[in-house]
A and B are shown apart, each in its own frame.
Chain A
Amino acid sequence: MKVLVPVKRVIDYNVKVRVKADGSGVDLANVKMSMNPFDEIAVEEAIRLKEKGTVEEIVVVSIGVKQSQETLRTALAMGADRAILVNAADDVHTDIEPLAVAKLLAKVVEEEQPGLVIAGKQAIDNDMNATGQMLSALLGWSQATFASEVAIEGDDAVVTREVDGGLQTIKVKMPAIVTVDLRLNEPRYASLPNIMKAKKKPLEEKTPADYGVDVSPRLEVVKTSEPAERAAGVMVGSVEELVSKLKNEAGVI
């Protein structure tokens, strides 16, 4: 079986994001970029399935600016076999919406015919949590989102999902889309020899036009603003003082 893993280049999760003064967006100039953390988990899961012998080939796909090559190389260094970059934007500030990403991925799926797509549950930049579900709808495939455990059993995937009340296990017919949650695995680091090897792995470049997909946005960003600031608080010296403040000043207990 072949597995497809979409990986997104996003601002590193450790970076403190700054909103641009003119409200036009957030500042991405000279900011550290990394693979979306959920996508590292997705790549790791695909590699583990390959190590178990369930999967023969792992294809990673990224949609965005040319620099997304780095993200794909990271995935190749972790253990993916082949990469596809869809050059869909020139400006690092352009974010391709999940609907357009899903449409492009659907075309890639038609060409590649994977048995499974493993995506992240959420990109930590736009916080949409949508692409996997949208891709699944476009393909008419089954979906298992927010996975904390994945087992392939014949033609089915048995997936445990993180839901509001705890955990839910479902069985989905393959081909399927799985989106991964934090507890699924701990992604490996790429070793230096593997980083070197990854440079020689195939990376194919495409454009949305190659797939006949229109990526123009449906949502126009009117403005981007800073969240409301909290007023400065006070330090208390003891539990007694804390309780007194909560009772008499804040009135919350």
Chain B
Amino acid sequence: MAVLLLAEMTGGEFQQDATAKALTAAKQLGDVTVLVAGDDVAAAAGEAAKLDGVSKVLAVSDASLANYLAEPVAALVAGLAGDYEHIVAPSTANAKNVLPRVAALLDVMVLSDVTGIVDGDTFERPIYAGNAIQTVKSSDAKKVLTVRTANFDAAAEGGSASVEDGAAAADPGLSSWVEDKVEESDRPDLTSAKIVVSGGRGVGSEENFAIIEKLADVMGAAVGASRAAVDSGYAPNDWQVGQTGKVVAPDLYVAVGISGAIQHLAGMKDSKVIVAINKDEEAPIFQVADYGLVADLFDAVPELEKAVG
């Protein structure tokens, strides 16, 4: 049984961590071909070929694919679908944009955010912000799924798959790219970091958020935020952790000034160790925390920074 795995390409660059985690899921389904699509993907295809367990890499370079716009990428994937029983991608913003479109072109349902694979037709996925896990069996001839990277370990390197060139589909020319506003940062990526330090509304302002960032930096951590912190302008949108933001499962998650609404918990409760710092001892975040500290964050965070620095 053949599986087509979409390599994650963000800003034209191959994202090894997300791709390697989705590969672990894809390998359970069959023989994996990785599709690397973009403007000029020679280097990216080479990196994908090194992942352990990849049978073949399909490299498609075309100007229309440069910014991973939904219409040309979905047309390409749907055109290739005939050869595969499963089409898989990591649950990134790109894949969530593209794969439902692919599924509809193929007249099949999409399986979003798969957290477990039971067999080739049967999958587990969270619903209601992770308050329930649904096991669903697909009756479609082809299965199109995005997989939660937090639930699968990254496949190792050490492979040497062959790379084959493919051609893009005709670009319907419905959309064009205008600009990306991406903050470059030396910090680890939120979804692959071993430690995440997140701040919430309790942090109080964009200026104050610097204490969260400083703590993250001494710990070598990524920085996250609650929706309230993002909505209030303390932190950028791509730091949001939760039901409708990013889902993370680091070794250590430190929640600072975050109350612990179910929508936030949905994005972090699979972390191995959770620390909560909150001045309200009744805050629901303490119910999921392994270590809870009732304290004013403006005292505790600088002290913690000194202690671990």
Q: Which residues of A contact B (CB under 8 A)?
A: 11, 13, 16-17, 19, 26, 97-99, 102, 121-122, 124-138, 140-146, 148, 158, 161-173, 176, 181-183, 217-227, 230-231, 233-236, 238-240, 242-243, 245-246, 250, 252-253
Contacts and interface: CB of A to CB of B under 8 A. Distances in A.
B269 interface: yes
Interface stretch (B29-37, B39-47, B96-104): B96-104
Interface of B: 10-11, 67, 69-71, 74, 92-94, 96-105, 107-113, 122, 125-140, 172-183, 195, 219, 227, 230-231, 236-238, 243-244, 246, 251-252, 262-263, 269, 272-275, 286, 288-295, 300, 303-304, 307-308
Contacts of B177: 168-171
Contacts, number: 259
Contact of B180 (A128, A131, A146, A168): A168
Contacts of B109: 97-99, 217-219
Determine chain B's interface SS by DSSP, over half rule.
mixed
B286 A218 contact: no
A172 to B, nearest CB: 5
Given A223-B134, A234-B290, 15 more contacts: A122-B244, A128-B112, A133-B70, A141-B174, A165-B183, A166-B182, A169-B180, A171-B178, A181-B237, A221-B135, A227-B130, A235-B286, A240-B307, A252-B195, A253-B308
A170 B178 contact: yes
Contacts of B107: 99
A166 B112 contact: no
Nearest to B242: A182
Given A97-B109, A98-B100, A141-B174, A163 B292 contact: no
A169 B180 CA distance: 6
B244 A158 contact: no
A222 B135 contact: yes
18 contacts: A17-B129, A17-B132, A127-B125, A127-B128, A132-B100, A133-B98, A135-B104, A166-B238, A167-B180, A176-B174, A217-B109, A218-B140, A223-B134, A227-B133, A227-B269, A233-B290, A235-B291, A252-B272
A143 B132 contact: no
Contact of B134 (A137, A161, A181, A224): A224
B104 A250 contact: no
Given A134-B104, A239-B307, A252-B251, A163 B290 contact: no
Nearest to B294: A235
A243 B109 CA distance: 47
Contacts of A252: 195, 251-252, 272-273
A22 B134 CA distance: 13
B141 to A, nearest CB: 10
Nearest to A253: B308
Contact of B127 (A127, A137, A182, A246): A127
A19 B134 CA distance: 10
A70 to B, nearest CB: 20
A129 B263 contact: no
Contacts of B262: 16
B237 to A, nearest CB: 5
Nearest to B302: A239
A162 B291 contact: no
A253 B238 CA distance: 25
Contact of A182 (B110, B129, B231, B273): B231
Given A166-B181, A236-B293, A137 B174 contact: no
A152 to B, nearest CB: 15
A128 B130 CA distance: 12
Nearest to B262: A16
B166 to A, nearest CB: 21
Given A134-B101, A162-B238, A183-B230, A140 B172 contact: yes
B273 A250 contact: yes
A145 B11 CA distance: 17
